[in-house]
């Protein structure tokens, strides 16, 4: 059960039941109430055929004895748990934290519980199969390819699987994110402010692809030295930023950062170098999360609405029968939110 978290009372009851062999049973309640086992079962499950006085007595005794329904047994009989499994990446990212919280909240509005797993996808699928979760939400990136072991576990799963983030596979709903257009919007905002020398700091991904495409479409001169690849194992991040912003006569006037995690590293270094945002350098970060507007200088952001991502995810798995079991393939657009970390380029203001 390592890596499994449950944030709802009745789900905690499920795991408590597994670990606690001395739990109160229907037999105990029947003996205390002086009635038969079937009578107790009917009363606890609100089934007709039990006198009101007897029902109230049984419910009162069950409460006094801290009785917990045997949810595991119930799930074995009807293969339902009223729970959604969430296969989540192990990442020190406020984006994933905020999105996870919103998914829990959206599910809670519908009376659905969410169990979050931080273990490997195959292990998570196996565990969720054992506990009969109704549906699964799995965050995976566009380049993700399911392993044979994952596909085998998927075949055993009786609910619906939703892939969020860009990954795709047969027999699953998909919610992707238009990162390329989002990055284009960020570059376009820089250009409208007069910036021509723009740096990208982040991983080699569809975000970098969008950055390159935007440069071509805007007719900007591409400088390889302006691209800081954080997935380069040989990268000395601090030295690279020093060379880019201090030891450089042709330094960029704008920086596009591909995630909140990279931004935190950059902000720390900018303070050390005494580089001011936005007076010395304009910054846009990809990750539209609440924390970005809590800085002393709120950051301009681009990215998908995490509220929309969470709501669309839960709605995709709680559709009515009128959908006829059709597969969902939705793309969430990235939006630009302008705050105070960007301003007109120094070069453009001095040349007027």
**What pTM was estimated for this model as a whole?**
0.76
Q: What is the pLDDT of residue 337?
A: 98
Is the predicted pLDDT of residue 32 greater than 80, yes or no?
yes
Q: Of the spans 20-29, 58-67, 134-143, which averages the highest pLDDT?
A: 134-143
Give pLDDT tens digits for 77-90. Answer: 555 678 999 999 88
> Worst-scoring range by mean pLDDT, 50-54, 174-178, 331-335, 343-347?
343-347
Residues 326-336 have a mean pLDDT of 94
Mean pLDDT for 284-307 is 96
Q: Inform me whether the pLDDT recorded for 100 exceeds 80.
A: yes
Interval 289-308 mean pLDDT: 96
Give the mean pLDDT of the chain: 87
Q: Please give the distance of CA 209 from its chain centroid, rounded to a whole number.
A: 23
Are 37 and 26 in contact, with CB atoms under 8 Å apart? yes
SS3 track for 8-43: CHHHHHHHHHHHCCCCCCHHHHHHHHCCCHHHHHHH
What pLDDT, on the 0 to 100 scale, is given for residue 282?
Answer: 98
Whole-number pLDDT of residue 48? 83
Give pLDDT, residue 324.
Answer: 58
Strand 282-286 and strand 227-229: pairing? Answer: unpaired
| pLDDT above 80: residue 152 | yes
Contact (CB, 8 A) for 29 and 62: yes
According to the model, what pLDDT value does residue 131 have?
A: 83
More confident residue, 260 or 130: 260
Tokens of 98: 């905020």
Q: What is the pLDDT of residue 19?
A: 41
322-338: average pLDDT:
86
Domains of the chain: 25-67 (1.10.260.40), 78-171 (3.40.50.2300), 179-304+337-350 (3.40.50.2300)
Lowest mean pLDDT among 66-70, 122-126, 185-189: 66-70
Specify which residues 6 forms β-bridges with: 115
């Amino acid at each position: 059960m390592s890596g499994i978290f449950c944030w709802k009372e009745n789900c905690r009851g499920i795991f408590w039941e597994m670990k606690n062999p001395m739990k109160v049973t229907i037999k105990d309640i029947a003996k205390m109430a002086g009635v038969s086992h079937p009578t107790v079962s009917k009363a606890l499950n609100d089934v007709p055929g039990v006198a009101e006085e007897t029902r109230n007595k049984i419910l009162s005794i069950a409460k006094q004895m801290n009785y917990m329904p045997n949810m595991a047994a119930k799930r074995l009989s009807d293969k339902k748990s009223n729970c959604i499994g969430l296969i989540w990446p192990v990442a020190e990212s406020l984006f994933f934290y905020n999105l996870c919280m919103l998914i829990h909240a959206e599910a809670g509005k519908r009376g659905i519980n969410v169990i979050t797993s931080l273990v490997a996808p195959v292990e998570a699928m196996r565990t969720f199969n054992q506990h009969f979760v109704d549906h699964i939400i799995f965050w995976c990136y566009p380049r993700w390819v399911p392993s044979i072991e994952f596909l085998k576990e998927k075949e055993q799963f009786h609910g619906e699987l939703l892939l969020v983030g860009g990954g795709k596979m047969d027999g699953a709903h998909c919610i992707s994110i238009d990162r390329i257009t989002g990055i284009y919007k960020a570059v376009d905002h820089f250009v409208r402010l007069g910036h021509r020398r723009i740096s990208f700091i982040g991983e080699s991904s569809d975000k970098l692809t969008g950055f390159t495409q935007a440069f071509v479409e805007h007719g900007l001169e591409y400088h390889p030295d302006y691209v800081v690849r954080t997935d380069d194992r040989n990268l000395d991040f601090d030295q690279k930023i020093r060379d880019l912003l201090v030891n450089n006569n042709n330094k960029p006037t704008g920086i596009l950062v591909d995630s909140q995690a990279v931004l935190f590293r950059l902000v720390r270094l900018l303070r050390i170098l005494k580089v001011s945002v936005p007076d010395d350098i304009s910054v846009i970060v990809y990750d539209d999360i609440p924390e970005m507007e809590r800085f002393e200088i709120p950051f301009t952001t681009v990215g998908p609405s995490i509220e929309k991502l969470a709501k669309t995810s839960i709605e995709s798995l709680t559709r009515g029968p009128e959908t006829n079991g059709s597969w969902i393939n939705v793309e969430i657009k990235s939006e630009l939110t302008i705050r105070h970390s960007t301003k007109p380029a120094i070069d453009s203001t001095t040349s007027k």
